[in-house]
Amino acid sequence: MTLAKAHVIGAGVAGLSAAVALAKAGVAVSVSDSAAQVGGRCRSYFDPQLSMMLDNGNHLVMSGNRAVSDYLAIIGASDRLVGPDEAAFDFCDLETDERWTIRPNPSSLAWWVLSPSRRVPDTMAREYLGLIGLLGPKAGLRVDQAIACKGPVWRRLMEPFLLAALNTKPEDGSAALAAAIVRETLAKGGSAYRPRIAEPTLASAFVDPAVAYIEAHGGVVQTGRRLRSMEFDGSRVTKLVFSDGEETVSTDVAVILATPPWTAQDLIPGLSAPDEFRAIVNGHFKLAPPHAMPAMVGVIGGVVEWIFAFPDRISVTVSAADAIVDLDREELARRLWADVAAVHDLPPELPEWQIVKEKRATFAATVEQDEKRPEAKTAWDNLILAGDWTQTGLPATIEGALRSGFKAADLARGMALV
């Protein structure tokens, strides 16, 4: 029996990539999301306070993210990511007012660490050798048990890099997840980690073209449609109970559950899933960036970690932001702007601002939480999981979410239909 149809529950990028892959293979897909708009954590929206489109978080992907490339190619959106031709990362240390640019060479033979003008100031090439400690098998270890978390290479390169990738205090992070990121970026050479940002919005790259692709291939994408419960019969899901009615699941239909972990745990009895999360705070300042302002600057020794220059605004990101997420919004705006003004020599007066807090931005990328991530395959023949929190081997990233969606689609097509 072939797969006649798939229900995809949750239209974040994991659910969308599953639906896109199935639509491409000629399977009828029905995508349902409980929210008023699709995209999940990758949604973009009009912000009335600033009168402009904002992304739900400044999102960065890397040129070497293969699922990102594959997904954008399928949905015809490969041209929606922008970034430099060569890997280059500007940094500013607010404690010393030093500025520098890391310039990795494109190949995996990392000769850039031999060049004082390309590496972190005041470091020696041999100090980078310690990072090799991250590349071996690291099951069950924290980052601080795998490499030395001190010294300038750590503070000015690995700490900001891993903090952004893990959204977890890097020392406490899982060395296996950190190693997965390092293997796919630093170890492959600069051509694999040229930074890429969606333009003009996240949704224009990752969401809107996917919905158009699914619909053009006969699929249906519905918002405001919450999955409330599922009925099971032995080895299969037999019924989906949505906010607007019930659907019987016949034997040639697959269900891909691509909701957040806490929803999946409510829907599936006894499911193991991450249950500790880390916040991300974004600040948006309505000010056209000065002409020479770099697209992205890493900040050392401030509250802000990354500053992004968009055509109509300056935006900042603070990862693993649990210590500040509950602060008053104006207080946050002032603290974040103080860092931006110091880094870019801008007036201290606060421009029009918006603060966006995501308390459960990603699961905590610790050893304990990684061990709670379930595989895509479930105990039920026609029920498959997707999402950045499932066991992808990567931290919670767009790349991981997309890979999980593609994998779920493969499993749905190959599942034993009884």
Ligand X SMILES: Cc1cc2nc3c(=O)[nH]c(=O)nc-3n(C[C@H](O)[C@H](O)[C@H](O)COP(=O)(O)OP(=O)(O)OC[C@H]3O[C@@H](n4cnc5c(N)ncnc54)[C@H](O)[C@@H]3O)c2cc1C
Nearer to ligand X, 3 or 320 (CB): 320
Contact 74, 24 (CB under 8 A): yes
Nearer to ligand X, 237 or 361 (CB): 361
Nearer to ligand X, 3 or 318 (CB): 318
Nearer to ligand X, 110 or 197 (CB): 197
Amino acid at 414: G
Q: Considering the rule CB under 6 A, would residue 396 count as an interface residue with ligand X?
A: yes
Of the ranges 36-44, 130-138, 148-156, 233-241, which one interacts with ligand X (CB under 6 A)? 36-44
Tell me the angle at which helices 66-75 and 208-216 cross, rounded to the nearest 10 degrees: 50
Percent helix, strand and coil across the chain, each to the nearest 5: 35, 25, 40
Q: Considering the rule CB under 6 A, would residue 387 count as an interface residue with ligand X?
A: yes
* Minimum CB distance to ligand X, residue 129 (Å): 28
Quick one: which of 6, 23, 31, 57 contacts ligand X (CB under 6 A)? 57
Quick one: which of 20, 27, 40, 283 contacts ligand X (CB under 6 A)? 40
Quick one: which of 358, 376, 378, 385 contacts ligand X (CB under 6 A)? 358
Residue burial 11-31, b: 16+ Cβ < 10 Å; e: rest: bbbbbbbbbbbbbeeebebbb
| Whole-number Å distance between alpha carbons of 219 and 215 | 5
Q: Considering the rule CB under 6 A, would residue 377 count as an interface residue with ligand X?
A: no
Contact 40, 404 (CB under 8 A): no
| Whole-number Å distance between alpha carbons of 297 and 417 | 51
Q: Considering the rule CB under 6 A, would residue 362 count as an interface residue with ligand X?
A: yes
Of the ranges 130-138, 146-154, 231-239, 354-362, which one interacts with ligand X (CB under 6 A)? 354-362
Q: Considering the rule CB under 6 A, would residue 59 count as an interface residue with ligand X?
A: yes
Q: Considering the rule CB under 6 A, would residue 69 count as an interface residue with ligand X?
A: no
Q: Considering the rule CB under 6 A, would residue 60 count as an interface residue with ligand X?
A: yes
| Whole-number Å distance between alpha carbons of 49 and 203 | 20
Nearer to ligand X, 33 or 370 (CB): 33
Nearer to ligand X, 61 or 88 (CB): 61
Alpha-helix residue ranges (DSSP H) falling in 125-186: 143-146, 152-153, 159-166, 175-184
Quick one: which of 102, 227, 230, 300 contacts ligand X (CB under 6 A)? 227
Nearer to ligand X, 105 or 392 (CB): 392
Both tokens of 401, joined, read: 């979410």
| Whole-number Å distance between alpha carbons of 121 and 96 | 12
Residue 51: phi and psi, rounded to 5, are 55, 50
**Antiparallel, parallel or unpaired: β 253-257 and 383-385:** parallel
Q: Which residues bind ligand X (CB under 6 A)?
A: 9-15, 32-35, 40-42, 57, 59-61, 226-227, 258-260, 263, 280, 282, 358, 361-362, 387-388, 396-399, 401
